[in-house]
Amino acid sequence: MAKDYYQLLGVARGAALPDIKKAYRKLARKYHPDLNPGDKTAEARFKEIQEAYAVLSDPKKRAQYDQFGDLGGVPPGAGPGGGPGGAGFEGFDFSDYGSSTFRDFFENLFSAGGVRGPQAASGGPERGEDLQYSMQIGFEDAIRGVQAKIRVNRLAGCEACGSSGRAAGSRKRPCPACGGSGRGTAQRGFMKFSSACSACGGSGQAPGEPCPACGGQGTGQKSDLISVRIPAGVDSGSKVRVPGRGNAGRAGGPPGDLYIVIEVAPHRFFKREGADISVRVPITVSEATLGAKIEVPTLWGKTTIRIPPGTRSGQKLRIKDQGAPVAGRKGRGDEYAEVYIVPPPFDNERIREMMKELESLSGPNPRQTLGMD
């Protein structure tokens, strides 16, 4: 029985080509063998999806399939647009996924030996690796920002060869494997692939005699003293990017970046939650009962707040715009003063007498709500 390619891709018979491509992308990603290692069911499903797309994406094959229900014994990838030079995946771009997984699959898994993707090649320019540096800063430095100097061990460009990896006087010459084109081709069945030349890594040039100082790598170890600006408002876990301060690229490739991972030391009385700051403020019994105006600390200096009459322990009073700045944005968070009542000294006889008198005037038992008379 002929397979229902429309059903395999989950599209209607009258579906437009963009809808077919969209459905194929979604299913190919779901059932791709790289994402389902060892899953034979997913592998079989992936092959069926490939077969369906090879037919429905080709107008001639689709018309024949719609009329006769099959291709008369012709493999879905063969024939016009599907034979050598016209593989079923030609022109299909997986870059939307932000990964080379699928491109590597087509260029590496099905290609003949000796033809590899550019990342597996050994001679072409490659971007340097990113580096990560952990840095602890003070609480207030995180709030206000700080200029700091750090020492980082990194791979830098070799000065002896100018990062080329070739010995001085070694001439550039075309790669004998690809004739200077930087590309190689391979064919697997009816599918034909083009990828970077494995001998030169896509540069089109023969490696030449390696530089004796760096062994042909074009890089060497270096300890750099780097001045960095930590912006105001960073928090623990924040990353500050320093462009071009990672490892140098290989064979003239661009350098990677340096990422500084921030760890903020705790403050002795301030606490932080996002852009908001909290502080516990002690008040007296009389201040809580009668109300008062008191001074409290903020990150930006002292300020005066009003304690309402009848304030209770644990009550939070908001102080607007006295919190931390938000990195990369305008404005600041708020500060919250959490008050707690400090009882008077219990060993003062006069205070004890006054408290007994106050108790007699305090009114009903405050624990009545708990069923206590």
Q: What is the pLDDT of residues 214-254, one digit of tens each?
A: 777 777 888 999 999 999 999 999 999 999 999 988 766 78
pLDDT of res. 70:
60
Q: How confident is the model at residue 353 (pLDDT cuts 50, 70, 90)?
A: confident
pLDDT of res. 205:
73
How distant, in Å, are the alpha carbons of 303, 315, 333, 339 from that of 306? 10, 13, 20, 11
Residue that wins the pLDDT comparison between 336 and 373 = 336
Paired strand residues for 150? 226
Tell me: pLDDT of 98 over 70. no
Tell me: pLDDT of 85 over 70. no
Question: Of the ranges 53-57, 107-111, 287-291, 356-360, which one carries the lowest mean pLDDT score?
Answer: 107-111
Tell me: pLDDT of 322 over 90. yes
Enclosing H/E stretch for 242? strand 239-242
Report the pLDDT averaged over residues 70-98.
42
Tell me: pLDDT of 99 over 70. no
Q: How confident is the model at residue 119 (pLDDT cuts 50, 70, 90)?
A: very low
Cβ 299 vs Cβ 143: under 8 Å = yes
How high is the mean pLDDT of the chain? 80
Q: How confident is the model at residue 35 (pLDDT cuts 50, 70, 90)?
A: confident
Characterise 101 by phi-psi region: left (phi > 0), alpha (psi -120 to 50), beta (else): alpha
Report the pLDDT averaged over residues 120-135.
76
pLDDT of res. 174:
81
Bridge pairing between strands 258-264 and 131-137? parallel
Tell me: pLDDT of 141 over 50. yes
In the three-class reduction of DSSP (H, G, I as helix; E, B as strand; rest coil), residue 30 is classed as helix
Q: How confident is the model at residue 154 (pLDDT cuts 50, 70, 90)?
A: very high
Distance CA 2, CA 151 (A): 67
In the three-class reduction of DSSP (H, G, I as helix; E, B as strand; rest coil), residue 318 is classed as strand
Count helices and strands in the chain by DSSP H and E runs: 8, 13
Q: How confident is the model at residue 188 (pLDDT cuts 50, 70, 90)?
A: low
Altogether, the residues listed in the chain come to a count of 373
* Tokens representing residue 24 in the block: 């194929």
Report the pLDDT averaged over residues 153-178.
77
Q: Is the dihedral of CA 267, 270, 273, 274 positive or negative?
A: negative
Enclosing H/E stretch for 20? helix 17-31
- Rg of the chain taking only CA atoms, in angstroms: 35
Among residues of the chain, what percentage have pLDDT more than 90? 43
Q: What is the pLDDT of residues 11-31, one digit of tens each?
A: 998 889 999 999 998 898 888
What one-character-per-residue DSSP string does 214-233 give? Answer: TTTSSEEEEEEEEEEEEPTT
pLDDT of res. 193:
65
Residue that wins the pLDDT comparison between 336 and 63 = 336
Question: Which range is most confident: 77-91, 103-117, 214-228?
Answer: 214-228
175 Cβ contact list (under 8 Å, min separation 6): 123, 182, 197, 199, 200, 203, 204, 205, 206
Tell me: pLDDT of 292 over 80. yes
How distant, in Å, are the alpha carbons of 135, 141, 187, 204, 240 from that of 138? 10, 5, 60, 52, 16
Question: Of the ranges 45-54, 56-65, 161-170, which one carries the lowest mean pLDDT score?
Answer: 161-170
Residue that wins the pLDDT comparison between 193 and 243 = 243
Q: How confident is the model at residue 88 (pLDDT cuts 50, 70, 90)?
A: very low
